[in-house]
């Protein structure tokens, strides 16, 4: 069945180090979304990528969508303590127009000061 896999599950970094999380789908995706969940909070939308090979930046965050539209990555440059949280990728359910998303299991980022 359709799956969205995300690695690593956990990442511990020292403040100032870089961080990357990877997302892979078993099927081609029409688009991919990234969400961030702070500890004790709820998922909040960060960005959506649609085009093959697309790269988008939000300050220190860089999002990429693979050429085959089956993988994506989120890279944070020079992490800060405010980056702590769990980052999820999500891809739409194949063939569905009902807005269903498959979420990866997330990467939990811890940043040591």
State the residues that interact with another protein by CB under 8 A. 6, 9, 30-31, 33, 41-45, 48, 50, 88, 92, 98-101, 103-106
The smaller minimum CB distance to another protein, of residues 66 and 106, is found at 106
The smaller minimum CB distance to another protein, of residues 13 and 101, is found at 101
The smaller minimum CB distance to another protein, of residues 70 and 77, is found at 70
Tally of CB atoms within 10 A around 26:
14
The smaller minimum CB distance to another protein, of residues 57 and 100, is found at 100
Report DSSP state, residue 52: T
* Residue 22 neighbours by CB under 8 Å, 6+ apart: 6, 7, 71, 72, 73
Minimum CB distance to another protein, residue 48 (Å):
6
Minimum CB distance to another protein, residue 17 (Å):
24
How far apart CA 71 and CA 7 sit, in angstroms, is 11
E strands, 10-83, where? 10-14, 19-25, 32-37, 44-49, 55-58, 61-65, 71-76
Minimum CB distance to another protein, residue 78 (Å):
27
């Amino acid at each position: 069945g359709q799956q969205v896999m995300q690695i690593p599950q956990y990442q511990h970094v020292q403040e100032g180090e870089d961080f990357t999380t990877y997302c892979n789908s078993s099927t081609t995706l029409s688009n991919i979304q990234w969400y961030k969940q702070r500890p004790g909070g709820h998922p909040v939308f960060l960005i959506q990528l649609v085009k093959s090979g697309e790269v988008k930046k939000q300050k220190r965050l860089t999002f990429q969508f693979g050429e085959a539209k089956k993988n994506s990555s989120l890279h944070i440059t020079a992490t800060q303590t405010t980056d702590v949280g769990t980052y999820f990728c999500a891809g739409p359910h194949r063939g569905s127009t009902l807005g269903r998303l498959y979420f990866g299991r997330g990467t939990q980022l811890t940043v040591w000061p």
